Amino acid sequence: MQTVETLNEGLKRAYTLTITAKDIEKKVDAELKRVAPQIRMPGFRPGKVPTNLVRKMHGPALLQDALNTSIQEGVQSLLADQQLRPAMQPSVELADGYEPGKDAELKVELEVLPQVPAPAIENLKLERLTVPVADEAVEEQLRKFADQMKRWEDAKPSHKARLGDQVTVDFVGKTMDGVAFEGGTGTDMAIELGEGRLIPGFEDQVVGVKNGEERQIKVTFPEDYPAKELAGKDATFDLTVKSVKTAAESKIDEDLAKNLGLESLEQLKGLLKGQIEQEHNGLTRTYMKRKLLDQLAAGHDFEVPPSMVEAEFTQIWQQLEHEATHEADPKAAMEELENDRDDYRKIAERRVRLGLLLSEIGQANGVEVTQQEMNRLIAQAAQQYRGEDQKRFIQYIQQEPMAAAQLRAPLYEDKVVDFLFDKAEVTDRETTREELEAAIESDDGFSTGTHSHDHDNHKPRQKKAAATKKAAAGEEAAEKPAAKKAPARKAVAKDEAPAEEAAKPAAKKAPAKKAAAKDEALAEEVAKPAAKKAPAKKPAAKKEG
């Protein structure tokens, strides 16, 4: 194989590879010897079909396989010989004019990972904001918990249902021409008025009913209603009220705990306190991590592959466009997004740079995810599937290095972050939950212009933050757009961590379910993408037989 470098500019590389006809023919002969004993043909004993007949019948297919194998091996040799670390899957194209029996000329283009300077991690300083759990917070959670465990009592016959009451109905849904529609009929459906669980307008029209009453209500299904034949359409529901119940006073006592299978009220309080502590610890970690990443971003500046930045930006932008469709005025939200497009591209660049940096830190300091930890991750992710789909998912993860890396990445990043926490000089300061949440949401911690976004705790201070930049930064991260999806998680475009899977666009889809992945740093395997074979864009011939 002959190799000629045709481009070496920044992080971009291009090569011309020439695979000789002789080498291709050797692979055809080897494949012919391998498959010939397996060929069955009338008039010949099993395994005794002459090789010349096998070649005549299956020659094009054998040539195709040999050519593809040669291309894959050629690209892998190129990466190894030139010590290249691709940032994204290399582009491999078979030059026009190839014919069987001739040399095959390949055009290989790629971007390589930069040489990341030795990370400066010796003088990191962090503040750990801690929130003690006050008795009042436990009591508040206990009250909310008791309210969720409501006891319902039959209302008086004359009682008219009010917000907060529970109404049980039989119902029949019909189109405006009086035809009952599929899925629109039910019995003994309990509705807690005011919860807002049903389509807009339904509960409002149930307010005021009495036990035994029959009532027809009219509703309009939302435009995004899952049943497309009903989306945006008017309909009626014929209701028969089976019962009206009012909520009895929620008591916080030993019986409440025992009804939950616990031994005492004190045990319930202890569990709730532990839950609040866990929430506080999560907020504390989020704050520290963002401060840590800000310090790393401010102290390191190096060129990053444009293709990785583009893939990261695409992922962020797609998520923001999706969120904009759920704004009160989607068009205005999109216009606002367009005004900030450059800011989001900078965020994407920051995410990629941080991912490469965390990868370098982890590899330089021996951070790794053990096989036992990986097996646990696979088992947890597989729980979203059932039966054969679960088996296919596990097999997919085991066979696809990039999918496995994507699954591994969040844990790997957590371990790198924990390593850096141990290296940093940490000071503790006690604060309140409100102040900690405000610190997380504040712009002050983002020297590169990124902003916070956390679906569980985020409380937007203004419309713009809620609609746009809140989605570009945060601790939890999103599935990478360039990589096909693997384990299922809730996805949201965020900043805290960027890179491993942006470098791996060719992973195949996981079975049966649309999925997403936490992207945090996605850093561990970023230095090892060459393990994936690069297929040619143009096959030499159609596979036959």
Amino acid in position 334: M
pLDDT of the residue at 138: 92
Residue among 476, 472, 432, 437 at smallest CA distance from 455: 476
Mean pLDDT by 10 residues, the chain (545 residues): 87 90 84 74 71 74 84 89 88 84 88 88 93 92 84 92 95 94 93 92 95 95 89 95 90 84 91 94 95 92 91 93 87 91 93 92 94 94 91 90 87 95 95 93 46 33 38 38 31 36 33 32 31 38 36
Q: Give start and end residues of each alpha helix (H) in 222-264.
A: 254-259
Residue 375 to residues 394, 404, 407, 408: CA-CA distances in angstroms? 10, 10, 11, 10
pLDDT of the residue at 49: 67
pLDDT of the residue at 320: 93
Give the chain's radius of gyration (CA, Å).
31
Count the residues in the chain. Answer: 545
Decide: 538 and 93 in contact? Cβ < 8 Å: yes
CB-side exposure of 56: number of CA atoms within 13 Å? Answer: 6
pTM beyond cutoff 0.85: no
pLDDT of the residue at 48: 67
pLDDT of the residue at 2: 84
CA gap 34, 426 in Å, rounded: 63
Rounded to 5°, the CA angle 379-384-390 comes to 65
CA gap 184, 166 in Å, rounded: 20
Rounded to 5°, the CA angle 201-144-260 comes to 110
CA gap 319, 29 in Å, rounded: 51
Decide: 445 and 439 in contact? Cβ < 8 Å: yes
Q: Which strand (E) or helix (H) includes residue 203?
A: helix 202-206
CA gap 385, 513 in Å, rounded: 8
Residue 73: exposure state from Cβ atoms within 10 A (0-12, 13-18, ≥19): middle
236 DSSP assignment: E
Residue 542: exposure state from Cβ atoms within 10 A (0-12, 13-18, ≥19): exposed
pLDDT of the residue at 540: 38
253 DSSP assignment: S
CA gap 354, 520 in Å, rounded: 10
The three-class DSSP label of residue 453 is: coil
Q: 319 is written with which tokens?
A: 């998520």
CA gap 315, 258 in Å, rounded: 48
CA gap 179, 191 in Å, rounded: 24
